[in-house]
Amino acid sequence: MANIVIIGTQWGDEGKGKIVDFLAEFADCVVRFQGGNNAGHTMVIDGEQFISHLVPSGILQGKTCYIGNGMVVDPEVLVEEIEYLESKGIDCGAEKLRISEKAHIIMPYHKAIDIAREKMKGGTKIGTTGRGIGPCYEDKASRRGIRFVDLIDPVDFREKVEKVVEEKNFYLKEFLKADSIDAEEIIEVYSRKASQLAPHVENISVSLYNSIRSGQQVLFEGAQGTHLDIDHGTYPFVTSSNTVSGNTTCGSGIGPKEIDGVLGIVKAYTTRVGEGPFPAELFDETGDFIQKKGVEFGATTGRKRRCGWLDMVMLRNSVRLNGLTGLVITKLDVLGELESINICTGYEFEGSVMDHFSASLKVLAGCKPVYETMPGWSEDISGIRSFDELPETTKQYLKRLEELAEVPIDIVSVGPGRDETIILNNQMDNQLGKE
């Protein structure tokens, strides 16, 4: 039995959705424990693309999915997503999709504040997804948040909304110069969503505890990436939750003893959406090549993703911060056709080489990447399903990554499809050991 956590090691969009969907075959339950619909997780099954923002990616494999207490949920988006998935024949009924009674609700004023603040900041904006994530987590921390348990109780919900709206409207109108929000309209719209979602709401800590006790395997689906973590990322250019593996337990209500492994998802190059430092960013035609070939557009906002070489300073940071027990290298097919491939192994800063990721934005801005150059490969590797069949230079590249990260590679992804995957070791399937 193994309960495994999936974590993005970079700035998000590493291919977590594809890998969660792939591994969900071996799991009984799949849990999201932080973030909200700032996430966009893509799965491709038999050529058909699915994007989920809130519902755990295990839903396509028919597994029981949990929206953890650490998440922030926009009920309108959730209902829409359930309807979209059900229209595609995927069961999202109350038995399959469980929602923590303690998850916080993203309210219309959270979205309005997020958008108006970014507008006001202009050139210093963070480049948020505008989904109200930060303002909702702020209210959670300041103990003014509204949770599912409140949403599904009409009396409590009305009382809480009425209490908070006056203050939100003052801030929106007077400080942010934005439109105010109507409490009655919120109550009407959200109450309709509440009755649709109420059958899904429960204490998921209890359900997960019982599942684990009965020998079921749980897969935990991280959102965003390690370098967007509120504590460990490129603050303030981060999201508003802890994205590292340590938050798995807080965000789902299980104890740390239940975690058996942590898989770090590593895109074979680096991308970033939104503002903030990016030492190995490419501004040349190689960057354009990767952006186009990798179709690097945000799954949530459609924004073009900034592209750069794989950065081992970041990856080693992720190895330590998450306690990674295995790596999953994704989008390796995208690097095909490049004559040579760079790996950033350190940063040059004021005449010396740094091998750690600085907390100072000033230092990061002054860091110049130090590259190790490896030969590329010209073959299309997307049809390959075993490590041995990969071109020699591809194997060399992977072995070098393993060496630099000091963590074994478990899975290599060579295309967006569920089956476009090479398994070296499956931590969720005891029968498949490493050869």
Spatial separation of the C-alpha atoms in residues 94 and 308, rounded to whole Å: 42
Q: Is 166 exposed, middle or buried (0-12, 13-18, 19+ CB in 10 A)?
A: exposed
Residue 13 touches Mg ion, criterion: CB under 5 A: yes
Tell how strand 48-52 and strand 41-45 pair up: antiparallel
Residue 381 touches ligand GDP, criterion: CB under 6 A: no
Q: Which of 35, 36, 40, 277 binds ligand GDP (CB under 6 A)?
A: 40
Q: Which of 4, 254, 327, 334 binds ligand GDP (CB under 6 A)?
A: 334
41 counts as catalytic: yes
C-beta of 104 vs 305, nearer to ligand GDP: 305
Binding mask 12-31 for ligand GDP (x = CB under 6 A): xxxxxxx-------------
Residue 36 touches ligand GDP, criterion: CB under 6 A: no
Residue 410 touches Mg ion, criterion: CB under 5 A: no
Binding mask 402-421 for ligand GDP (x = CB under 6 A): -----------xxxx-----
Residues in the chain: 435
Residue 108 touches ligand GDP, criterion: CB under 6 A: no
Q: Is 386 exposed, middle or buried (0-12, 13-18, 19+ CB in 10 A)?
A: exposed
CA 157 to chain CA centroid, nearest Å: 30
Q: How far is the CB of 132 from ligand IMO (least distance, A)?
A: 8
Spatial separation of the C-alpha atoms in residues 416 and 322, rounded to whole Å: 25
Q: Which of 181, 228, 265, 299 binds Mg ion (CB under 5 A)?
A: 299
Q: How far is the CB of 315 from ligand IMO (least distance, A)?
A: 16
Half-sphere exposure (Cβ direction) of 292: Cα atoms closer than 13 Å: 6
Question: How many CB atoms sit inside 10 A of residue 235's CB?
Answer: 14
Q: Which of 223, 230, 290, 332 binds ligand IMO (CB under 6 A)?
A: 223
C-beta of 101 vs 114, nearer to ligand IMO: 114
Residue 7 touches ligand IMO, criterion: CB under 6 A: no
Residue 273 touches ligand IMO, criterion: CB under 6 A: yes
- Which contiguous run of DSSP H or E holds residue 368? strand 368-375
224 binds, among ligand GDP, Mg ion, ligand IMO, none (CB under 5 to 8 A by kind): ligand IMO
Any long-range contacts for 380-389 (C-beta under 8 Å, 24+ apart)? 380/333, 380/336, 381/332, 381/333, 381/336, 381/414, 382/333, 382/414, 382/415, 382/420, 383/414, 384/414, 384/422, 385/419, 385/421, 385/422, 386/422, 387/412, 387/422, 387/424
CA 16 to chain CA centroid, nearest Å: 7
Residue 322 touches ligand IMO, criterion: CB under 6 A: no
Three-state secondary-structure class, residue 358: coil
The one catalytic residue among 28, 41, 53, 333: 41
**Where do contacts with ligand GDP occur on this chain (CB under 6 A)?**
8, 12-18, 40-42, 44, 299, 330-331, 333-334, 413-416
**Where do contacts with ligand IMO occur on this chain (CB under 6 A)?**
8, 11-13, 38-41, 126-129, 131, 133-134, 223-225, 228, 239-240, 273-274, 299
